[in-house]
Structure formats: structure tokens, C-alpha cells
Amino acid sequence: MKVELISINPDCEKHIEYCARTCYNSLDKMTADSHKIFLANLIKNGHLSVLEHSFASFLIDEISRACSHQLVRQRLASFSQRSQRYVNEKDFSFVIPPEIEANTIAKQIYLKTIEDIQISYAKLVDMGIKKEDARFLLPNASHTTITMTANFREWLHIIDLRVSKHAQWEIRDLFINIWKLLFNKAPTVFSEIYFLNWSKDYEYKKEIFETKIKSS
């Protein structure tokens, strides 16, 4: 899995503060670090719409189609995904789930099946079958590349859903990476404060925040 922050609006936290202060006619109260307490209070009080003023885009590569299928359920985000209609997926690379990786027999079955699919896919394409039809053979394991853009409110919502004990391991790993990258750029918005006030599983979020986000 590779995750790269490819775009974020400049001064993303100051920008939210500026927009939100129009509500209170308090632009004159802005100082170099006034956004820290101001944004924390907005989040605590549930004035979350102001977080929609800042955006970030990620390039996400080498995740499985099983993972991207879950990802694109987030309806307020925007996506562009590598097409299996237009791109030749001969010799596609793929994810091996850790549980299968750790089991020699399961891994043999898995790799043999992938190899058979690769051979059959290549045969179909070589005999002139359109890629859009040959792709029906491709497994959920095959790698995909996707760009994803969302506003900060939606990123917090998705982190809340996917950095959870109940989430599937691959999408959870993906969102731990995304949370880390967002925290580095916007440490007030992507601190614990949202989860402390709004998450159903704050204890789990706190553990991840302490061990994987803050320390990165």
C-alpha cells in the first residue's frame, strides 16, 4: 500500500478559522495561533460544517479492489480510479492478506489461483477479447490505483468509520496512514478532539492516536 498526500489547500486550519469567524464577526481576533483554541471549541460544540472549507487529495496505490470497493461507498468524497476497461491488467500485482501469507498451504492455493487467472486473462486479451470483458476474471485481490478528494469534515467522518476495530484490516491500515498525513498538516482538526466528542469508540481511537498518529 502506498499513500501520498498530493494536494491540500494552503493554510488549511487558518482558512477554516477565517471562514468560521464570519459567523461571529470576529476576524479582528485572529492571531498567529488563535485557530488552535477556536477550532477546538468549534469541533467540541458540533459546529462541524466549518470544516468543509478545507480539502485534501490523496493518491492511493497498491490497495486491493476489495478495499477500493469499500472506499468508494463514501459518497461525499470524489474519486478517479484506474480503469480495468482501458488498462491492460496482464501480470497484475495483488494483495496477499496477512492471514493467508502466514499459512503455507493457504498461500500456495492463493498464489496458484492468481497465477491461473493471470494466464487466462492474458490468453483472452491475446485472442482479441476486449479488456472490458477479460476483466471479469480479475480477482478482488488485484491492485488498483485511486485518487480521492474530500473536505476535512468528511475525512474525519471516514477516519471515524474505518479506523475502528470493526473495520476490515486493509481499509483500517489505509486510514491510519491517511490520518497520520492529515494530522501532520492540520494537527488541531485531526487531533483527538473530534473523536473524544463524537466517536462511539473513543478508547480505540485514543490508542491508535497515541501509538501511530502522534508519534509519527
Ligand X SMILES: Cc1cc2nc3c(=O)[nH]c(=O)nc-3n(C[C@H](O)[C@H](O)[C@H](O)COP(=O)(O)OP(=O)(O)OC[C@H]3O[C@@H](n4cnc5c(N)ncnc54)[C@H](O)[C@@H]3O)c2cc1C
- Catalytic positions: 162
User: Residue 175 is inside which H or E element, if any?
Assistant: helix 169-185
Interface residue with ligand X, options 19, 100, 114, 167 (CB under 6 A):
167
CB of 166 to ligand X, least distance (A): 4
Asked if 119 interacts with ligand X (CB under 6 A), we say: no
- Please name the amino acid found at residue 7: S
Judged by DSSP in three states, 40 sits in helix
Which stretch, 8-16, 78-86, 133-141, 162-170, contacts ligand X (CB under 6 A)?
162-170
Cα 157 from Cα 195, distance rounded (Å): 9
Which stretch, 5-13, 26-34, 39-47, 70-78, contacts ligand X (CB under 6 A)?
70-78
What are the Cα distances from residue 164, in Å, to 133, 157, 170, 175? Answer: 36, 12, 12, 10
| DSSP one-letter code for 200 | T
Interface residue with ligand X, options 161, 163, 189, 208 (CB under 6 A):
161
Which stretch, 1-9, 18-26, 71-79, 137-145, contacts ligand X (CB under 6 A)?
71-79
Cβ 90 vs Cβ 110: under 8 Å: no
CB of 161 to ligand X, least distance (A): 4
Closer residue to ligand X (CB): 122 or 201 = 201
Asked if 157 interacts with ligand X (CB under 6 A), we say: yes
CB of 69 to ligand X, least distance (A): 10
Sheet holding 55-64, edge to edge: 2-8, 55-64, 143-151, 78-81
The strand pairing partners of 59, in sequence order, are 4, 147
Asked if 165 interacts with ligand X (CB under 6 A), we say: no
Cα 113 from Cα 44, distance rounded (Å): 50
Binding-site residue total for ligand X (CB under 6 A)?
Answer: 10
Asked if 138 interacts with ligand X (CB under 6 A), we say: no
Interface residue with ligand X, options 2, 29, 112, 166 (CB under 6 A):
166
Judged by DSSP in three states, 96 sits in coil
Judged by DSSP in three states, 191 sits in coil
Residues 72-101 that bind ligand X (CB under 6 A): 73-76
Closer residue to ligand X (CB): 66 or 114 = 66
Cα 65 from Cα 69, distance rounded (Å): 6
Sites of contact with ligand X (CB under 6 A): 73-76, 154, 157, 161-162, 166-167
